[in-house]
Structure 1
Amino acid sequence: MNGEPYSRTHCHRLNQHGNATLAALGGVAVGVILVLLTWLVVLMTKDDPAPAPQSAPAAVASVPVSVTTRTVAPKPAVKGTSNSAPAVGDVRSLPGGLFCRDLNAKGYSYVAAIDYWRLHGQPNQMDADRNGIPCETVYSRSDVAAYWNGREVSGVVFWSSGLFCRDLAARGASYAEAVRYWWYYGMPDRMDADKNGIPCETVYSSANVNAFWYP
């Protein structure tokens, strides 16, 4: 009877001691786990540092620029001069309907008169005898001869060289055509025996000669 209560009390004490040991071991395990978790958190924080905040760009200070304005006074125009005045010899700005005497009075050369004549369709008022040589009675014979000597006249067929005034008259050439022939072949002396610059005056009538040279 006395042994049974003792054994129950002893077993009860052993159970209490075992429970305390298990509780202590559980506390140690929990502490170890917490330490490991803390260590892992520290490692993760160390390997992936938070990015440093970027600094805002500094504002560029605007520097005022000084602007200097200069007023340039225009140069006064010179009166009485014109840069568009045509040069003597340029007949493109002249109106139509002029005569040879008008061009000569304005100081235009014989070459310029030819240009004007062609520019306006070779008007008959500048070539009254229709021989294809305009203004031959207005400009000097030397100027006319210098231009037409050896130069072909449009629409005119010349006879061969070496002819005399009588040969031209026999072929039916007018006095104007005889003069043109004389100019074309360099004013040969055989057609102007007295060398007065008027060819064939002894072959053609005085009326025809005077009508050509003194219209």
Structure 2
Amino acid sequence: MAVGVILVLLAWLVVLMTKDDPATRATSTPPSTPVAAASAPAVPAPVTTRTVVPKPSVQGTSAPAPAAGDVRSLPAGLFCRDLNAKGYSYVAAIDYWRLHGQPNQMDADRNGIPCETVYPRSDVAAYWNGREISGVVFWSAGLYCRDLAARGASYAEAVRYWWYYGMPDRMDADKNGIPCETVYSSVAVNSFWYP
């Protein structure tokens, strides 16, 4: 009988000791059953952290989609107007120009600044840190090829002037994309366009 009383007292003591233990209360209460508000402040349950291991990526299964402005997947031979029509920025056009060996078709006046007549001048100036197309700014607008030749402008400078002022028809009457061909010698014209 004494053993039975001792066991009852021990069981009662265990119940009293675990009655206010928050860890025991959290594990004994089902998660869907709300716990009644107690007079003692609630103690948050201990937070356990888990390390998330990323899934290994499988490489080489498919080519990723090119990022906006990524011109590496484009074929060679495009013009500035093609890139602009496809929505590529001026910076992307410069990348394409450099990637394909700085083709003359993208820099017809060969001043080292491609696509300056296709993209806004603000974009061109921002990229080149304010560097403008040299050699034509000091000449006023509205000149003809004969005026440039009389001022001693080379054929390359005449082409640069033509590009700078928006390729006016007065400098390319037959509209073939080659300005001043009747004013300058055929040698100068051919050596510029077909080096």
Range into which the TM-score falls when normalised by the shorter chain: 0.3 to 0.5
Q: TM-score, structure 1 length as denominator?
A: 0.43
Higher radius of gyration, 1 or 2: 1
Greater helix fraction, Structure 1 or Structure 2: 1
